[in-house]
Structure 1
Amino acid sequence: MKTQIKPKVLLLSIVVAAILPGCASFKGIGSDHHIASPGTYQSAQALPDEHGNWPAADWASHYGDAQLPALIAEALKNNPTLEQARARVAAAAAVSDGTRAASGPKVNLDASITRQQYTSNALVPPPVASSWQTENKAVLSASYELDVWGKHKAAESAAVSRLMLAEAEKEKVKLTLSTAIARAYNELARLYWQRDLAGDDIAQRQQLRQLSIARARSGLDTEVEPQNANRVLAGSQASLAALDGQILDVRYQLGALLGAGPDRGLQITRPQLAEDAAPRDRLPDNLPADLVARRPDITVARWRVDATTQDIKVAKAEFYPDINLGAAIGLDAFGFGRFLDASSRTISAGPALHLPIFDSGALRAQLKGRYADFDQAVAAYNQTLVGALSDVATQIARVRSTDAQLLDAQAASDAAQRNWQLAASQYKAGLNTQQNLLQARVTVIATQQTLANLRMARRDQQIGLAAALGGGFGNPQPSQQPLIN
């Protein structure tokens, strides 16, 4: 039998679909929450425009040590945490593809051969009743759900948002990993620098001990002075041993960050970071507003808000009717002899409508849940933005404080160096003792240890500032510009 879809039937279906959705209502369900703009939070004093640059994607290469960016590249290739992030991106991409496919037309081919004995005491009349028949059936069917209310479009948008969210999370992991490696590498450099100074300090204190022993033997000192010298020397040697242990710890830490075993950390050569004067870092202009697009964690939070917004649209569309268009054509006959005859042809076509009328509040509960997810995502975004602004302000404040400390520490080191030089000149002229000369050298080493710690702390804070400013996210092209400048 041949059937045609009448336009009046289709039109009636659409009219009914437009009239009846009032049976299930989402009236009274909503949210008054919204994401905050950067201007909502006062930050002009803490984050002034200073005409600086945003960090480039290759910020790690600006420290004058080729091993550092090489280690970061190795970690981004092998670290299991990043592999997990990549897997989440692939999963989100698969969901996005599946959601897009679900909204498209479907075409299926169903074929079967059924051997059946029909009963004589039911609806089937003779001669089929009580006989064995072989039914051959092949049907090609097609269906398409009309997206009248935008449900499929919103579901696709939500899936795309979650895909972008996963991509941003991957970038967040990359930045976290890169920053951790750079900081650990800088710490390794600091420990080696301190070890060198500790070795120099031990050499001076060994000479002081020998001098104290000689003075005690000659009656110029009591036994108290040699014992004090032994005590101080033992403390310095213990500090050196502690530094060796810390160096080993950092090497193992770097091996783990690289996604390799602890032996990989032992293969890292001593850092050769440039010992620059740490020029003043300047913040970029329009920082609060531009920071939104520069930090991956803010981007993650923003895509989560967008995804939950689309989820709400999907949940609202569930209150409206689903309209499906279906059609099928095929062959259905008893026996093979008539299977290919025109009289065995079967055709069907027509619209189908599903309308929720009463569901005991299930749809309203689902929509309330979607709004709760939205409110949580908005709150998380706002908190992330507040934390990001505070992070940048804290990092730049630390840099400024260390800069001020460096000036005083450098002045103290210069004064100690000058005092040692004067003591050496006086010693050569016979106007000073060797003990005073050695003590002056120990003082120089102490000021250099303080200066080294401050310089490495300054670099660590600079790395932290680069990360707080997004580490090149949103600015992926390598740049020859200074890190912040």
Structure 2
Amino acid sequence: MKHLSLSAQRFPRRATSAVAAAAVAFAFAGCANYSGISSDKQIAAPDKFEATQSVPGQGGQWPSLDWAKQFGDPQLPQLIDEALADNPSIAQAQARIAKASSYIDTSRSALYPKVNGSYSWTRELYSANALFPPPYGGTWYSENNALVSASWDLDLWGKNRARLNQAVSQEKAAEADMQQARVTLAASLARTYNQLALLYALRDVAQREIANRQDVGRITNGRVAAGLDTNVERRTAEGNVATSQTSLTELDGQIESVRYQLAALLGKGPDRGLQIAKPVIDPKVNVTLPDNIPADLISRRPDIIAARWQVEAATQNIKEAKAEFFPDINLTAAFGFDAFGWSKFLQSSSRQIQFGPAIHLPIFDAGALRAQLKGRYADFEGDVANYNQTLVSALNDVATNISAIRSLDKQMSDANRALTAATSAYQLAVIRYKAGLSPQLQVLNADDNRLANEQTVTNLRLKRTDLQIALIKSLGGGFDATSTNLAIDGSGQQQAANPTTNQTSPSQ
């Protein structure tokens, strides 16, 4: 790239106008061009993806920010609030927003004139055998120089404005990323808390199993005393009780481990997890789907919003790169005083005045500007693809969770019937064993079946709660871009959809 600079110091008006006109004409005649560089990629519309069968509307409401309250456990919303209030992951996202905001301030400053002032005092001994003859040569002199200068980039082609818009878009993307971090953290904490509830439920099952096997052991002792059983049956009963106690101890270890996981999610030390009370989650909560999910999901998922703002930022980058093909015109002016010594420093004869335009013109750059623009279009197409993939993944997240809940509901029906039958069989086996009508082995087999079915029902019941939380997260976790400053209006959507046809520069 070659730069052409024009400056004037007390330049005659006619000469200045002539030079300026010649420079502008030369600019338009010699500037590089970006013909043939474009993109036809566009962000996908939600209605492009068929989802009415997989994600049917049920007339429900979108999740609200206090969605955790519906699970009936007052401790859960408190833990989520605690995690969101002071968590390193949220602090990292906020730091990224602050950094993006600084870029906005930097970019905005380029739109306005800049004024600088300077003063220098120099004490110098001039050589008697050099440029300056006596009385200057061989004498010490002090030089005072004061200057106030101003400059203003006219930004005729919108390069600085595009750079500012790009910085704003990056800040919006960072804000959306923070909202995504909040949604992810809240859902992760709720699902881990539900895991704690599951372990406590399984622990209750283990305690009941210990009681049942102790009852069988007492029956066995009576039968041994009556001569109906031997020490083999007695030792078997004692071993079964010990096995159940081992399972209980294992569950206690898992409970403690999950408590530490919750403490980490809270951003606290492991001791904080030991203070968490036993969960009392209501497993009957059912999240009904809102209508028009594909169309409304794009404003409910912060990851989609973040991807959307990245596309907008890429669009502004393209505008900036296109403006680079046109000349920059910078107006400069300066006024000050320059004199030897102090006596004449502020006199009219010591004035120095400078003014004039500076034109930076791309004439030949060996294809650097075109290569830069191609790179910006490549970034744009990558961001468009990322947006489309994020939208597809979001719809599939919702559909997958709905499918899993449907399948689990069918499993629950079968598992409850199996548990009812196994419990009845166990009770009959105990009665027959106590009456001496059946051996101990029959009771033990019936007990194992009943225990396995009860554990299955317990796992399915709390797994359904986990899927409900996952569904809430896939629906945005209460985020709504329309109620924040993150929504993109129609003009922004048009720009991001096709940057080639929406330019505010001479590139049209």
Instruction: Tell me how far apart the structure 1 counterparts of residues 94 and 87 of structure 2 sit (CA, whole Å).
Output: 11
Give the whole-Å Cα distance in 2 for the aligned partners of 1:330 and 1:105: 18
Deviation at 1:21, TM superposition (A): 5.0
Cα–Cα, structure 1 residues 152 and 456, in superposed 2: closer, same or farther, change >3 Å? same
The yes-or-no answer on 1:156 pairing with 2:146 is no
CA displacement at 1:133 relative to structure 2: 2.2
Q: Which amino acid aligns with 1:102?
A: A
Which of 98, 101, 114 is the equivalent residue of 1:93? 101
Say if 1:433 and 1:198 are closer, same or farther in 2 by CA, change over 3 A.
same
1:19 matched to 2:18: no
Determine the structure 2 residue equivalent to 1:481: none
- Partner secondary structure for residue 297 of structure 1: helix
1:246 partner SS? helix
Does 2:50 align with 1:57? Answer: no
**1:33 to partner: Cα distance:** 2.1
* 1:220 paired residue among 212, 220, 228: 228
Cα deviation for residue 26 of structure 1 reads: 2.3
Which of the residues 207, 214, 217 maps onto 2:215? 207
Partner amino acid, structure 2, of 1:95: Y
With normalisation by structure 1, the TM-score equals: 0.88
Paired residue type of 1:233:
V
Query: Take 1:10 and 1:3, find their aligned partners in 2: how far apart are those partners?
Result: 11
The alignment of Structure 1 onto Structure 2 pairs a total of residues equal to: 472
Q: What is the one-letter code of the residue matched to 1:188?
A: L
Distance 1:413 1:5 in 2: 100
Normalized against structure 2, the TM-score is what? 0.85
Q: One-letter code of the match for 2:293?
A: L
Structure 2 residue aligned with 1:302: 308
User: SS where residue 339 of structure 2 aligns?
Assistant: strand
Which of 391, 394, 415 is the equivalent residue of 2:400?
394
Q: Give the whole-Å Cα distance in 2 for the aligned partners of 1:227 and 1:250.
A: 35
The code of the aligned residue for 1:132 comes to W
Query: Residue 322 in 1 paired to residue 340 in 2?
Result: no
Q: What value does the CA root-mean-square deviation take over the aligned residues?
A: 2.9
1:40-62 deviations in Å (ceiling 9; x for gaps)? 22222111222111100111121
5+ residue gaps, structure 2: 1-8, 484-508
CA contact (8 A) 1:56 1:476 kept: no
Which moves more between the two structures, 454-463 or 468-477?
468-477
CA offset at residue 317 of structure 1?
A: 1.3
Match of 2:359, SS state, is strand
* Distance 1:135-1:475 versus aligned 2 partners, 3 A rule: closer
User: Kindly tell me: are residues 421 and 392 of structure 1, through their superposed partners in 2, closer, same or farther at Cα, counting changes over 3 Å?
Assistant: same
Gaps of 5+ in 1: 478-485
CA distance in 2, matches of 1:278, 1:432: 45
Partners in 2 of 1:45 and 1:5 — Cα distance?
Answer: 75
Q: Secondary structure at the match of 2:42?
A: coil
User: Contact 2:71–2:285 at 8 Å: present in 1 too?
Assistant: no
Distance 1:229 1:449, change over 3 A: same
Separation in 1 of the partners of 2:454 and 2:369?
A: 70
- Aligned residue in 2 for 1:370: 376
Letter in 2 for 1:389: L
Change in Cα spacing, 1:441 to 1:353, as seen in structure 2 (3 Å) is same
Partner of 1:193: 201
Aligned partner of 1:138 in structure 2 is 146
2:353 alignment partner, one of 333, 347, 351: 347
Asked if the contact 1:116–1:132 (Cα under 8 Å) also holds between the matched residues in 2, the reply is yes
**Residue 420 of structure 1, CA deviation:** 7.2
Q: 1:354 offset after TM fit, Å?
A: 0.5
Alignment equivalent of 2:291, drawn from 285, 294, 304: 285
Measured in 2, the distance between the counterparts of 1:262 and 1:249 equals: 9
Q: Give the 3 Å change call, closer, same or farther, for CA 455–367 of structure 1 in structure 2.
A: same
Q: Residues 283 and 422 (structure 1 numbering): CA distance in 2 closer, same or farther, change over 3 Å?
A: same
For 1:252, the aligned partner's letter is Y
Q: Cα 1:111–1:422, aligned 2, differ >3 Å: closer, same or farther?
A: same
What corresponds to 1:237 in structure 2? 245
Query: Which residue of 2 is the match for residue 483 of structure 1?
Result: none
Distance 2:383 2:402 in 1: 29
Q: Which letter maps to 1:292?
A: I
Q: For 1:326-341, list aligned pairs within 5 A.
A: 326-341=332-347
